[in-house]
Amino acid sequence: MIPAKHLLPLLCVSLLLGACSTSNTSKQFIVVPPSESQIESSVKEQVSLALNAFTPVAGQALPNNTVLEAYEARGYDPIWIQDKKINMSIYKLVDILEQSQSQGLNPIHYHAGIIKEYLALKSPTPQQLAEMDVISTIALTSYAHDISNGRYEPQLIDPNWQLDAPSNTWKDLLYLDSATDMVNSLQLLSPRSPQYQVLQKWLVYYQDLAAKESDIFVSAGVPLSLGDTGPRVAQLRARLVQLGDIRFSTRKVNEEQFDARLREALMRFQRRHHLTADGAAGSRTIEMLNVPLETRAKQIAYNLERWRWLPSELEANRIWVDLTNYTVDMHLNGELTSMKAVIGKPDRKTPVFKGLMTYMVTNPTWRVPHRIARENLLPKLQADPNYLVKHGYKVFSSWSIGAKELDSTKINWQAISEDKLAFRFEQEPDEGNALGQYKFMFPNKNEIYLHDTPAKHLFRESDRAFSSGCVRLENPVEFAREITKGSKQYNAMNNSLKNQSNTVISLPTYIPVYLVYFTVVPNANGMLEFRNDVYERDALMEEAMGYSPFRSRDSI
């Protein structure tokens, strides 16, 4: 909801225009009586006034200097008025702003209604024309920024979300030759990822569906499976049609019969909601079927915003750590290689950020992070003073270089509290080492990296949030081979493994690493995949965005 202090200037402008406007809001080519010098003078006067009145609200407010600098660069010539006529592209701008909800944005941020009030004036004064020009430019600029970089500041929503790659290219459109070119350039600013484009189309589908139809819910009851009959089966079939898992067909079917085609459709639904695809509608499946269309529209909108926090174009060669899918995808040399991953537990979330992988370590020593030492290692030592010896750890007097190695069995661990623990712990390379045989480094403030693990059994789990924050790889051997393929580093890696030596190997080519978090993604068939929100980040998005990205049936 917009704070009351922001509503006053908008309300004042709207009331002023309402008093002097007519009911005719049809598109028209308005002949402007005032001279161009009068309009330019008024534009200069109105820029600072309008910028103060129309400061963007909520989330990441757009710096007003962008608009001011654009007008200064053009000598305060109006953007939307040429040859004493209003440029018709302003109507296209209004249409785009009114449809901004189709991108998961909130139209209220872009002042389309106020611009239309100005356009409805039969004999606007120079001041009114200047106001319209500046407000329209503010709206254009705000939308250009938001569709390119995202409306909201990610770290204000979630401190663990550190991936924000703002671009300034959206500002370039303010320096194009004409308003027409500016408006036409808006469509080029949204993320170019095919996944974003598919998500955006599905958002429109859910918006239209929520506006035109009521949700079809499946009544609670015993699980439904192949061969069952009754009205609940008909509800199940109708819901799967509504959600797109069953395509419309002219073939006559018994709506209340649970047949093989219904079972196949239900299994498709289960797979794209990360459920056990057993083809039976149990309580968990019915719960997912009954998530309202409005809720799904919101989830899609949250993920469109997350895409806008990424660079508009991604590197061809990159490593994509997909946290909600528990996978690591290697996009290298035109090929895709994927493997399972284990990510941080909900109380030790793997952060979202971008790094640059520069080197790897074979047979690594594990220097235990201070938090893990306090929370995990100290309780084990207090229960068993010989724990370090049994598991191949060394303990040093401090974290400083040259710190003295100590005999862990002679330390009174019971007398040490978490806040007083100052020792440094290191686990020697061996088959039980927590990092396994490989550590892949992309230096970052979070001390997060990819690594091997001796706990291979965890990869058999479907939900794999078990680590203390770092990402464990199912097949580190294949990962190491791919990032060193065809280089001298590949031979160095093999030699170090044979010799069981602790070796640092620089990569032949540095590789961008993205740790990303999406709760809705298109699958290979173009259908939406709704994933478990393992870190409960959608709730933070809802609180920040605070609106419904769909039209209600009452509004059409």
pLDDT in tens, 373-387: 998 899 999 999 999
Can you tell me the distance from the alpha carbon of 7 to that of 11, in angstroms, rounded to the nearest whole number?
6
Q: What is the pLDDT of residue 312?
A: 85
Look up 451 and say whether it is catalytic: yes
Query: Which one of the listed residues 12, 273, 451, 457 is annotated catalytic?
Result: 451
**Banded model confidence at residue 41, pLDDT cuts 50, 70, 90:** low
Of the options 2.40.440.10, 3.40.220.10, 3.40.720.10, 3.90.1410.10, the CATH number for the domain spanning 311-516:
2.40.440.10
Q: What is the pLDDT of residue 58?
A: 46
**Banded model confidence at residue 547, pLDDT cuts 50, 70, 90:** low
**Banded model confidence at residue 555, pLDDT cuts 50, 70, 90:** very low
| Token pair 């922001």 in the structure block, residue | 6
Ranges of each domain in the chain: 4-155+169-189, 216-291, 311-516
Beta strand extents in 57-195 (DSSP E only): 81-82, 85-86
Third-level CATH fold of 216-291: Muramoyl-pentapeptide Carboxypeptidase; domain 1 (1.10.101)
Count other Cβ atoms within 10 Å, centred on residue 21: 18
Beta strand extents in 70-128 (DSSP E only): 81-82, 85-86
Q: What is the pLDDT of residue 34?
A: 54
Query: Which one of the listed residues 111, 145, 273, 470 is annotated catalytic?
Result: 470
Is the confidence at residue 231, as pLDDT, over 70? yes
Is the confidence at residue 214, as pLDDT, over 70? yes
Look up 470 and say whether it is catalytic: yes
User: pTM of the entire structure?
Assistant: 0.85
- Report CA-CA distances (Å) from 45 to 124, 133, 297: 16, 12, 42
**Banded model confidence at residue 402, pLDDT cuts 50, 70, 90:** confident
Can you tell me the distance from the alpha carbon of 276 to that of 286, in angstroms, rounded to the nearest whole number?
13
Q: What is the pLDDT of residue 13?
A: 38
| Residue bearing the bigger pLDDT, 249 or 420 | 420
Percent of the chain with pLDDT over 70: 88
| Residue bearing the bigger pLDDT, 474 or 251 | 474
Can you tell me the distance from the alpha carbon of 519 to that of 294, in angstroms, rounded to the nearest whole number?
16
**Banded model confidence at residue 391, pLDDT cuts 50, 70, 90:** confident
**Banded model confidence at residue 44, pLDDT cuts 50, 70, 90:** confident
356 close to 475: Cβ distance less than 8 angstroms: no
Lowest average pLDDT, out of 23-32, 156-165, 518-527, goes to: 23-32
350 close to 448: Cβ distance less than 8 angstroms: yes
Can you tell me the distance from the alpha carbon of 423 to that of 373, in angstroms, rounded to the nearest whole number?
9
Q: What is the pLDDT of residue 249?
A: 67
Is the confidence at residue 421, as pLDDT, over 70? yes
Q: Residues 375, 381, 383, 384: is their CA dihedral positive or negative?
A: positive
Q: What is the pLDDT of residue 63?
A: 57
Lowest average pLDDT, out of 31-45, 411-425, 455-469, goes to: 31-45
Q: 186-213, pLDDT tens digit by residue? A: 999 999 999 999 999 999 999 999 999 9
Q: 337-362, pLDDT tens digit by residue? A: 999 999 999 999 999 999 999 999 99
Percent of the chain with pLDDT over 90: 65
